[in-house]
Amino acid sequence: MAEAIERFVPDGATVAMGVALEPLIPFAAGHELIRRRRRDLELVGPISDMLFDQLIGAGCVSRVTAAWVGNVSEGLGHCYRRACEAGVPRAIEVHDHSNFSISLALWAAAWNVPSLPTRTLLGSDIVRTNPNLSVRDSLVEVKAVRPDVAIVHVQRADELGRVHAWGPLGVTEEAGLAADRVIVTCEELVDASVTLSDPNRILFPETKVVAVVHEPGGAHPSPVQGHFKRDHSFYRDYGERSRTEEGFRAWLDEWVLGVQDRAAYMRRIDVQSLRIATHRPSVPADFGYE
Amino acid sequence: MVAIASREIRDGDLVFVGMRLPILAYAVARNSHAPSARGLFEVGLMRDQPASGFLGTMGDPPNVAGALWATRMSNAMALLAQGSVDLGFIGGAEVDRFGNLNTSYVGDPSRPKVKLPGSGGGADIAILSRRWVTLMSHERRRLVERVSFITSPGYGDGTPAWRKRNGLLGGGPVAIITTLCVLRFPETGGEAFLDSVHPGHTVDEVLAETGWPLQVSDAVSETSAPTKAELTAIRQFDPDGFWTGASR
């Protein structure tokens, strides 16, 4: 993980994360960005459930391009508030979107066009404050947003970058296609015979994927279908402790800065209570051809 | 609030469910008066049966198992853009007399007094669904004369046909359900009026907690209390009171 972040996410990069919305959030990769003291990042995503708040509080971020930043089951993002309202720990720029418009901004980049038109956001002041949105002929023009790197957590991948994820995908596919490169963290590192047995389930062309990191539990506290439940109380604890800057600092020391890596972090979690025990595999598709 | 919200769902509706209390309202409706409703979730899911386990978010594993469709967000948005979504729910931080919602900035956006989380899918629902409902805590600082920032447009400046003139596809808000009462809108849109007051509360209390001179319907009534079936469903889907307990 350290190598992937060091090599592929420089200071000032535009980084898409949390692109599956509430599940599969790459918290382990985000925490590595914090430990590596990355600065001046632009974060891109639809809704960020807690991860963007942590990166903002740690001072890694100069701009947020997103539809929603907070803590989904708890409400406000307290670090996001402090940054926007008081410039603590630093001021950030915000390009507000809706979920629909951030998806379109990524599709525009994926298809290599300057913008895409939509009927959403008509009548919303979001069009007034985001310089990348404008109204023309009763349609909103959404300018392309092109991430330097998209970071995704998935159920399984092979070492050549063939990636399988399942469950709802949010804006994962357009984020991967729009990005210059993709970093993958996965629950299971599998043989290519597994990934290639179901090519419909492969998320991105392997040519986009520059790093595959085997990082079990790398999405905690967000859920991973078939592997981990959502750790609701972890979100509540963060929501309460991050209300003050001091509380957030103590949380960050305990769970990020004072932790060497994800394996050490996972030893502090009650993994057994969160692991999904009852499995419901789908029926395989038949790719027979002769 | 959950029981009242669930009554807004009609049988057969495709409902853009959203987060928090509406997830529970959808489950209650399916288990009572709307057994053939379907739920659409912007994360990229469609369901008929409510999830059989507790949900902290729409993306939790129990909401995925047994789904009618697990897909990408832009596919769910396609149905919304086509006008196929009958009803949406949006949580509000601030609402005004014309039903506009602010979930972005209190005060000047360049130097906000409060930075709220943002639209999420709220603006999309407000603009594109056929009708929508807001759920919020009833406080004078939240129900304001005019919101300072329109994240999710209701009836704009309240002038006739504001939505149509500005190209908004969907019909607009039909109700604001608060902790004290239900506000509704005339069929042609415009300004909210007081329709019913929840048991244990009074019209005067509602007026005192509303930041504009609220119109009161001649037929203002008491909101029907939750039925036994509604309460049973709420307890089934929120057994520990995570969403409906006293601490929330």
pLDDT of residue B247: 43
Nearest CA in chain A to B157: A123
pLDDT of residue B160: 94
Joined tokens for residue A44: 């891109």
- Give the CATH number of the domain where residue A67 resides: 3.40.1080.10
Joined tokens for residue A49: 């459930």
pLDDT of residue B20: 81
Q: In B, which residues are within 8 Å of A69 by CB distance? A: 117-118
Residue range A192-204: mean pLDDT, rounded = 98
Does the residue A268 lie in any domain? Answer: no
Assess A126–B contact: CB distance below 8 Å, yes or no.
yes
Assess A49–B contact: CB distance below 8 Å, yes or no.
yes
- Residues 6 or more apart whose CB falls under 8 angstroms from that of A160 comprise A192, A206, A212
Segment-wise mean pLDDT, segments of 10 residues, chain B, 248 residues: 95 92 92 95 96 91 97 98 97 95 95 95 98 96 97 97 96 97 97 98 98 97 93 88 69
Q: Which percentage of chain A shows pLDDT scores above 90?
A: 100
Backbone region of residue B91 per phi and psi (left: phi > 0; alpha: psi in -120 to 50; beta: other values): beta
CA B33 to centroid of chain Cα atoms = 18
Distance from CA of B218 to the nearest CA of A (A): 32
B209 carries an active-site annotation: no
Does the residue B120 lie in any domain? Answer: yes
- Per the CB < 8 A criterion, the answer to whether A265 and A253 are in contact is no
**Phi, psi (deg, nearest 5) at residue A13:** -70, 155
pLDDT of residue B241: 86
Domain count for chain B: 1
pLDDT of residue B240: 86
Does the residue A2 lie in any domain? Answer: no
Could you give the ipTM of this predicted complex? 0.97
Distance from CA of B86 to the nearest CA of A (A): 16
Nearest to B124 among A99, A138, A166 (CB): A99
A17-28 exposure pattern, b = at least 16 Cβ within 10 A, e = fewer:
bbbbbbbbbbbb
Does the residue A32 lie in any domain? Answer: yes
Question: What range defines the domain where residue A30 resides?
Answer: 12-263
Assess A54–B contact: CB distance below 8 Å, yes or no.
no
Does the residue A276 lie in any domain? Answer: no
- In 3D space, the residue among A19, A12, A30 whose CA is nearest the CA of residue A238 turns out to be A30
- Give the CATH number of the domain where residue B77 resides: 3.40.1080.10
Does the residue A285 lie in any domain? Answer: no
Distance from CA of A10 to the nearest CA of B (A): 27
Q: Which helix (H) or strand (E) holds B39?
A: strand B38-41
B8, B42, B94, B209: the active-site residue:
B42
Question: What range defines the domain where residue B51 resides?
Answer: 2-237
Judged against a pLDDT cut of 90, whether residue A13 lies above it is answered with: yes
- Tally Cβ neighbours within 10 Å of residue B171: 16
- Tally Cβ neighbours within 10 Å of residue A71: 20
Residue range A87-116: mean pLDDT, rounded = 98
Residue range A251-260: mean pLDDT, rounded = 98
Cβ contact A80–B70 (<8 Å): no
* B62-68: long-range pairs with CB below 8 Å, 24+: B64/A23, B64/A167, B64/A168, B64/A225, B65/A280, B68/B38
Q: In B, which residues are within 8 Å of A43 by CB distance? A: none
- Per the CB < 8 A criterion, the answer to whether A248 and A242 are in contact is yes
Give the integer Cα–Cα distance in Å for B101 and B88.
14
Does the residue B248 lie in any domain? Answer: no
Domain count for chain A: 1
pLDDT of residue B246: 54
DSSP A213: E
pTM comes to: 0.97
Q: What is the pLDDT of residues A136-162, one digit of tens each?
A: 999 999 999 999 999 999 999 999 999
Burial of A52 (0-12, 13-18, 19+ CB in 10 A): buried
pLDDT of residue B18: 82
Does the residue B220 lie in any domain? Answer: yes
